[in-house]
Amino acid sequence: MTDNAWDNLQRGDSEAIWHPYAPAVGGPDVFPVVSASGVRLELADGRQLIDGMASWWCAIHGYNHPVLNRAVESQLHAVSHVMFGGLTHPPAVKLAQMLVKLTPPGLDRVFFSDSGSVAVEVAMKMAIQYWHGLNRPEKHKLLALRNGYHGDTIGAMSLCDPVTGMHYLFGDTLPKQLFAPAPQCSFDGPCTDAEMAEITTLLSDHSHEIAAVVLEPIVQGAGGMRFYSPEYLVKVRALCDHYDVLLIFDEIATGFGRTGKLFALEHAGVVPDILCLGKALTGGYMTLAATLCNERICSGISNSEAGAFMHGPTFMANPLACATAIASIQLLLSQPWQRTVQRLQTELAAGLAPARKLESVAEVRTLGAIGVIELKEPVDMRVVQPLFVERGVWVRPFGKLVYAMPPYVMGSADVATLTAAMVDVVAQL
C-alpha cells in the first residue's frame, strides 16, 4: 500500500472511530494493519511487526493458521449462526463436551456467551440466582481482590480493582462489592496465615451477604500482571467452604496453557464452583466465552423463583466461534504445548533479565508464556508505542508494565528480537 493509503486509514479512523480507553478526538496515532500471518502483523506501509501481545493474549496459534482457517470455512458452509433458544447444533455440543472433559470434575455444565465480560456477568448472576434458589437472597454481594480485572461491563467492572478500576467515575451505578487485599505471596513461595487474615475477617463478618468470592487464579492480569502462590487458592477454597460462600475463578486470561498448565487452577488442584473462560478459547479468531458451573449451582438455580437461569445473548454459542474453538483446542492438545510454553518462559526470562540492571525498573518476572518488566513510573504511551514499532515489534504497555504474552508459535529468534526491543526501549526511558 502507498503512503496515501496509510494516511487515509489513519484519517478515516480518527474521524469516525473510538478506540479502547482513548479519547474520541486527539488520541495517540493508531497503526493500520492490513494482514497478519504467524506471529507477524503487516502494516499498511508494508512493515512487519513481531506480535508480542497475541492480540490481548488470544491468538495463541498466531494468525492466519491453516487449521483454524479451515474450521471457519467449513462451518461457514454448514451454518454460520442460528439462535440458541430452542435450538442446538453440533459445534456447541462438541465444544461443551470438550470443555467439561478438560476442566476438573464437577464443572459439568457450560453456558456460552460472547465475550469475557459477559462470561463474568453470567457467573455473577449464577451465584446470585443460586442463593435466591436457597431462599437466601440477602447473599448477593461479591468479594473480589484488589488489583483484579474482570472486564468492562458494569457488573464485571464492580469487581475490578476499586482504584485502577476507576469506580469513582461511575458513582452509585456500580454495585458496591467487598475487596480483600491482593495476594502478596510469590508464585514459588508459601502463603502464610497472616496473609489470609483480612480476607478471613471479611468473610466472617459478611458471609451472610456474600454470594461468592471471585478472583483470577495464579495471575492477576490487566490489574497488574501479578503472580501469586497456588497455596493462596487452597486457602481461599477452604475459607469459602467454611463460610458457605461460592468460589468463582476467572480464567479468561490464564486458560489454555498461558501459565504452563492448561488452566491455572491446576497449579493448586483447586476446583471452583463457577469457572469463566474466554480470550484464547477460539485461538483469537472470534469472540466467544464460556461460564462453567457445577451441579450445586444448577440445582440451586432450578429451585429459584424463575426456575431457569435468566440470561440469553443473541449470539450465544455462535457456530463459527464454537467450530473455531474446537479446532483451536484440538490444535493445542495435538502438540507438546507444555514444552513450548516452558521454552517461552525460559527465553522470556533470559531475554528480559538485562532489564533488571536498569535504574527505571522495579522488577522483572516471568511465568509460562508471560514476561513482565515492571517499571517504577508509568510509561508515556505516546512516546513508547512508536519506539516499539520502529524496532519491528508490537508491545502495548499499560501503566508501569511493559510485558509480552506472545503467541505460542513464536520461534526463539523472534522471542530474542522481542525481548531485546523491550529492554532497549525501557533503557531509553
Q: Which parts of this chain interact with ligand PLP (CB under 6 A)?
A: 115-117, 120, 149-151, 216, 221-222, 250, 252-253, 278-279
List 247's β-bridge partners, or say none.
213
Pick 252 or 402: Cβ nearer ligand PLP: 252
Nearest distance in Å: CB 278, ligand PLP:
5
Say how many C-beta atoms besides its own lie within 10 A of residue 287's C-beta.
18
Nearest distance in Å: CB 403, ligand PLP:
13
Catalytic, out of 51, 114, 250, 273: 250
**Quick one: cell of 5?**
493509503
Pick 9 or 219: Cβ nearer ligand PLP: 219
* Active site annotation includes 139: no
- CA neighbor of 196 nearest in space, from 207, 212, 180: 180
**Residue 182 · residue 215 · CB < 8 Å:** no
**Quick one: cell of 15?**
474521524
**Quick one: cell of 197?**
487474615
How do beta strands 48-51 and 40-43 pair?
antiparallel
- CA neighbor of 162 nearest in space, from 185, 178, 173: 178
Dihedrals phi, psi of 257, to nearest 5 degrees: 95, -10
Pick 46 or 312: Cβ nearer ligand PLP: 312
* Active site annotation includes 176: no
**Quick one: cell of 61?**
496459534
Nearest distance in Å: CB 20, ligand PLP:
9
* Active site annotation includes 21: yes
Catalytic, out of 279, 285, 408, 414: 279
Dihedrals phi, psi of 64, to nearest 5 degrees: 55, 45
Catalytic, out of 3, 21, 101, 172: 21
What is residue 314's DSSP assignment?
Answer: T
Pick 55 or 366: Cβ nearer ligand PLP: 55
Pick 149 or 179: Cβ nearer ligand PLP: 149
How do beta strands 289-293 and 109-113 pair?
antiparallel
Return d(Cα 20, Cα 396) in angstroms, integer. Answer: 12
* Active site annotation includes 168: no
Pick 217 or 260: Cβ nearer ligand PLP: 217
Catalytic, out of 63, 130, 149, 285: 149
- CA neighbor of 313 nearest in space, from 114, 123, 129: 114
Nearest distance in Å: CB 116, ligand PLP:
2
Helix (H, G, I), strand (E, B) or coil at 42: strand
Nearest distance in Å: CB 48, ligand PLP:
26
**Quick one: cell of 212?**
461468592
- CA neighbor of 44 nearest in space, from 418, 411, 404, 389: 389
Nearest distance in Å: CB 259, ligand PLP:
12
Return d(Cα 108, Cα 96) in angstroms, integer. Answer: 9
Return d(Cα 193, Cα 97) in angstroms, integer. Answer: 38
Nearest distance in Å: CB 240, ligand PLP:
19
Pick 216 or 374: Cβ nearer ligand PLP: 216
* Residues designated as active site: 21, 149, 250, 279
